[in-house]
Amino acid sequence: MLLDRLEQAAGPADPVPSADGWELVLAENVAYLVDDRRRWQALGNLRHVVGLAPGQILAASSETLRGLVAGARPAERAERLRRCAELAVAGAPWRRYPGIGQPGADRIDLFTGFRAVLALDANALRVLTRLGYGEPGSSYAVSYRRAPRPRRARGCPPRCPRSSGPPSCSAGTARPYAGAATRPATTAS
């Protein structure tokens, strides 16, 4: 109902930028203080010059990575890409990656089709709170935790373990990773 009203007022939502969790993590870390077009362009450059596999990122020189990132703090961005690759090799959950908190992990789960979740950025959360859908908190994290959530599918456990470890569901309703396209391979290639 609310989504229908928003679409009527503002038009259809933009398409999902990627359904690949690894790409979403890299896109978050490859650029800083840039618009979406520039962010995805930087990711495309990384793909073309270095490759997106964790081993390819780890093998790239710091100078090469600094030349491919976009926006402010290129040295920090290059190090974040390396840290992401190390975490991918280790099989870490999304929340351990730089720049990926609970809202980011929820957005990855939503965009990859792992689970339907209300994944709100700070602006969307503020708008919904002002419209009466939730109570404001003392911080974004508190407000995010208080935001109304859709009901989980029948048979799913009360707390999806996806944010703190590998996906599983005792009821068998959670989808595993779709493969290397959604979760980075653990090989050094």
Q: Which of 61, 81, 96 is the last residue of a domain?
A: 96
Burial bucket for residue 175 (CB in 10 Å: 0-12, 13-18, 19+): middle
Calculate the CA dihedral of residues 75, 76, 79, 81 and round it to 10 degrees.
Answer: -110
Do 126 and 81 share a domain, yes or no? Answer: no
Specify if 91 maps to a domain: yes
Is 180 a member of any domain? no
CA 49 to CA 61: how far, in whole Å?
A: 12
pLDDT digits (tens, 9 = 90+) for 8-66: 999 998 888 899 999 999 999 999 999 999 999 999 999 999 999 999 999 999 999 99
Residue 168 lies in a domain: no
* CA–CA distance, 59 with 39 (Å, rounded to integer): 22
Residue at 3 is within a domain: no
Asked, for residue 78, whether it belongs to a domain, the answer is yes
Q: How far apart (Å, rounded) are the C-alpha atoms in residues 185 and 4?
A: 38
Domain that holds residue 54: 21-96
In a domain, 60, yes or no: yes
Do 44 and 87 have their domain in common? Answer: yes
- Classify residue 33 by its DSSP letter: S
Tell me the per-residue pLDDT of 100-138, one tens digit each, with 9 for 90 and over: 998 899 999 999 999 888 888 888 888 888 888 778 888
Q: Examine the fold and report which residue of 50, 65, 96 is the final residue of a domain before the chain moves on.
A: 96
- State how many domains the chain has: 2
Which tens digits make up the pLDDT trace of 59-72? Answer: 999 999 999 999 99
